[in-house]
Chains A and B, each alone.
Chain A
C-alpha cells in the first residue's frame, strides 16, 4: 500500500489512517532513520515512511529481520546522532526487550521513539498485553495519542521530549488509533532533517554497559525519570476541561470515549485528557483532582494508570473513589467501546443510558473465520502433508507458527497443534523431539517467520541433533501483514533491488543434511517430499528441512494485472462431477461451492486460477476456461512484492 497522503501539502486537511498520521508526525519531527518488523496493527507506519523516503530522499527506512534488530538498528542510528524510530506490534516489543532496557540506561544523544502498536481485543494477535508496563519496567516514558485526531502532534511531542532529555520514548498506539482513518491537518515536513546524517561520538563511560558504568547510569536514569515526570505535568499533551464532582480520566483514546459518552448521557463531569500515562505526571493529576470525590479511569488495556493513581492517592493521604477496570466498572478484557463506557458512566451517575435496543435478526448465521485465500500456495501443502503423515503411520505433533499459515489450525486441515509466538514452531519442536515419546514433531513455519526467529531454533536442532521435520512455507513475502519484503526476497523496503538470502543454501550451511525444495502447488509432490524427509528424520535422528515454495497468490495477481498477464479461471464439468465433495470439504477452496445436489461449482469472481483443484478431483471434473499461460504459471511460483 503506498499511503501517498503521507506527503500531503502543509496546512491541508487530509483523510489518513492513524498509522500514516504517526508517520507524518515523525517526518515533521525530522526522523532520519526508521526500522521495524511488520505486525498488525503497526505495519503501515513504516510503509508510509518508505513511500515518503522514495520522494524525499530520506529518512532511511528498513524492514528489519525482527524487532530486536529493528530496535538495535534505530538505537545505533540514534547513537550516531540522528532522530530515529523503531516500529513494531506489541508482542514484537518482547522480542526487542533486551536492547530496550539498555536504551534507557545509555540514553541517546539525539531522539529515539519506539512505537508499540498494541492490540486490545486481539484482532490479529496472540495476546492482549499492555506495553505501557514496559515503560514502567524499563523507565521509558510512554506517550499515548488520544486517537487518530491527535496522533500526529503526539509523535512530534514524543520526539521533542526525547530530544530534550536525551532519553527514549515509547509511543503506545492501539488498534483503534492505528487503524482508524480520520481528518488530519498536516504541518511542514522537516526535509533537511529527514535526509540528515550524524556522527557517532565516542563516550565509552556512557555507551558500554559494563557493571561499573551501569551502576552510575542507573542513578542518572532515576534522576532523569524524575525530571521527565515533572516536565510531563506541564506537557501540552495533557489538559483538563469541564467541571463537576466526577473526574473522568481519559487516557489516550479513553479521552474520546469520555467526551462522547458524557455528551450522550448529558452528564456534567470534569474530563482530563492524559496522553502521557507513564510516568504518572503527579502535579497534573493533583490539579485535575481538586474538588473531585470520584474518578472513572478510561484506558485501553490493563489498569496501568488506575493502579498508579491509587498508589499516588495513598501516598498523598487523599480519599477519592477510583473506578475503572479493577473494580469491573469497565471489563478487564477487550477494547473500550461507547457501549461499555456509557454503561459504566451510567452506573456511576445513576443517569439512565437509554441507548436504543438493536433490532433482533432471527437467522442462524454460520461463523466466518478467516481462511486461506483461493489460490493460496499453502492450500495444496496441507493436504499433501496430511496424506504423507497418514500413510507413514507415524504419530506427529504439528508445531505451528505465526502467519497466514496459522489458518491451518482450522478444519479441515488441523495441522497446527501449537501456535504460541514467532519462531515458536521450531523452538518447541526442540523439546518435543527429546521427550514426546513415539511422536515426531513437524514444525510448520513461514519464510519471513523463519528469518525472524526460526533460524536460531534450527541451528539449535542441528547442534543438539534433535530429530524433527521443519517445513518452511516460502510464499516469497510477509503476506499476512500486507506483503512486506524479508531477507529472502530481492526487494528492500523502498521497492529497490536487494540481495536475497537463499533459504536452502542457508539451511545447508548450518549443517542440515536433508534439504529439499518442492513446488507448493502440487499436492503429490509435497506428499512425496514429506515422506522422504520423514524417513530421513526417523532413520538418522536428525532434523530435516522441506521448503515448499509458491508465491502468495495476491502478489502474483497484482503483478499479473500490472504486467498485463491474464490468469485463467477454472470451472466444473457437471457431467464429470460425482458430488464426492472433496474439493469443497477436504480441499476447502473458498471459490468452490456445493450446489443443491452436492455437485461443485466455482465462483468465477473468487477463483484465482491456481489450478490445484484439477489435481484434487478424482474425476477430472475441473478444467480451465482457457489454458493458463506460461507467464502466469511462472508468476505463481516466483512473484515477489515491489
Chain B
C-alpha cells in the first residue's frame, strides 16, 4: 500500500531531519521511499513542507487530496498544507503556534486551528511536543517525540516499525540519545491517549 505523508512546520524546526528519519526507517522496512524537500531561502523561518511518499511511487510530490497523514510541527503550517490530504485523513500536531513575524498580522489561536481541522472532517491528534522535549532537556527533540507519538497511534503502519524508527533516529542524528528518549516518550504518550 502506498503511503503519502506530509510534514509541515516552520524552517528550523527539524522538518527535514524528521523526513530523513522516516525515509531511513522505510528503507530498513524494505520499502521504496521518496522525500521531496524545501531548501534554501524559504528554510529561513519560512513555511516549510516536505512530501514523504512510501511504496510503489515514482513522482516526488503528493498531489492535493492524496495525503494520508500530516505531521505538523507548527499549527498554522499544519493547517496550510491540510489541502494536500485526503478526506478523513489524520493530522498529528505539535501544540505549538508561532505567529509569523510580520508586523500587525493577526494569527489564529491554537484552538481555532485545531477546531477548523476537525470541522474539515480530519482526524486530529495533538501533543505538546516542545514542552515534553524540554522536560528531557532539548526542545530540538520535539520532532522525534512527535514521530514517536505518531508511531504510537499506529499511523506509521506500512512505513516503519517502532524498532526501525529507533534505528533510523540513531543513523540520522549524530548525538541521538535525547532524540531517542524523546521518541520513546512520544510512544508512551500515545499509548495513554
Contacts and interface: CB of A to CB of B under 8 A. Distances in A.
B47 interface: yes
15 contacts: A124-B41, A180-B35, A253-B59, A256-B59, A260-B59, A337-B63, A356-B66, A359-B89, A360-B120, A361-B82, A366-B102, A369-B47, A370-B11, A584-B103, A590-B45
Contact of A260 (B58, B88, B139): B58
Interface string A591-606: 0011000000001011
Interface in B57-76: 57-66, 76
Contacts of B101: 371, 584, 588-590
Contacts of A482: 39
Contacts of B61: 176, 335, 337-338
Contact of B102 (A15, A341, A357, A410): A410
Interface stretch (B16-24, B143-151, B155-163, B179-187): B16-24
A337 B59 CA distance: 8
Contacts of B44: 370-373, 404, 407, 480
Contact of B107 (A17, A361, A366, A603): A366
Given A257-B59, A371-B101, A183 B27 contact: yes
A148 B64 contact: no
Contacts of A147: 58, 60
A13 to B, nearest CB: 7
B36 A124 contact: no
A267 to B, nearest CB: 15
A407 B102 CA distance: 12
A365 interface: yes
Interface residues of A, number: 68
Max chain B Cβ within 10 angstroms of own Cβ: one of A41, A123, A180, A335: A180
B41 A406 contact: yes
A74 B163 CA distance: 46
A260 B60 CA distance: 10
Nearest to A585: B103
A481 interface: yes
A574 interface: no
A368 B32 contact: no
Given A148-B34, A361-B117, A365-B76, A370 B45 contact: yes
B7 interface: no
A212 interface: no
A371 B45 contact: yes
A179 B49 CA distance: 12
A339 interface: yes
A32 B190 CA distance: 51
Contacts of B46: 368-371
A15 B29 CA distance: 13
Max chain A Cβ within 10 angstroms of own Cβ: one of B40, B61, B79, B98: B40
Given A176-B61, A359-B87, A588-B101, 13 more contacts: A15-B33, A17-B37, A180-B37, A256-B60, A337-B63, A338-B61, A355-B64, A356-B65, A361-B116, A373-B12, A585-B103, A588-B103, A590-B101
A117 B75 CA distance: 33
A363 B112 contact: yes
B100 interface: yes
A327 interface: no
A364 interface: yes
A496 interface: no
B106 A366 contact: yes
Contacts of A411: 102-103
A233 interface: no
Nearest 8 pairs of A and B residues by beta carbon? A124-B40, A40-B40, A370-B46, A363-B116, A338-B63, A359-B120, A590-B101, A181-B35
Interface in B93-140: 98-108, 112-113, 116-117, 119-122, 130, 134, 139
Nearest to B67: A358
Interface string A399-418: 00000101100111000000
A568 B8 CA distance: 29
A196 interface: no
B83 interface: yes
A406 B105 CA distance: 21
A259 interface: yes
Nearest to A255: B58
B165 interface: no
Nearest to B43: A370
Contact of A339 (B63, B89, B107): B63
A630 interface: no
Interface of B: 10-12, 19-20, 23-24, 27, 32-47, 57-66, 76-77, 79-80, 82-89, 98-108, 112-113, 116-117, 119-122, 130, 134, 139
A304 interface: no
A342 interface: yes
Contacts of B100: 366-369, 371
B35 A364 contact: no
A183 B59 CA distance: 13
A359 B66 CA distance: 11
A338 B36 CA distance: 13
Nearest to B42: A370
A368 B40 contact: no
A300 B99 CA distance: 35
Nearest to B172: A15
A337 B61 CA distance: 7
Contacts of B40: 40-41, 123-124, 480-481
A366 B27 contact: no
Interface string A326-352: 000000000101110110000000000
A76 interface: no
B35 A182 contact: yes
A13 B139 CA distance: 33
Interface string A560-596: 0000000000000000000000001110111001100
A521 to B, nearest CB: 19
B83 A359 contact: yes
A586 B103 CA distance: 8
Nearest to B45: A371
Contacts of A315: none
A182 B34 contact: yes
Contacts of B84: 358
Interface string A98-132: 00000000000000000000000001100000000
Contacts of A261: 59
A338 B45 CA distance: 28
Nearest to A146: B58
A223 interface: no
B102 A367 contact: yes
A102 to B, nearest CB: 30
Nearest to A363: B116
B120 to A, nearest CB: 4
Max chain A Cβ within 10 angstroms of own Cβ: one of B44, B101, B106: B101
Given A183-B33, A365-B76, A359 B103 contact: no
A74 to B, nearest CB: 23
A362 interface: yes
Contacts of A584: 101, 103
A339 B44 CA distance: 28
Interface string A457-482: 00000000000000000000000111
B102 A359 contact: no
Nearest to A39: B40
Contacts of A338: 59, 61-63, 66
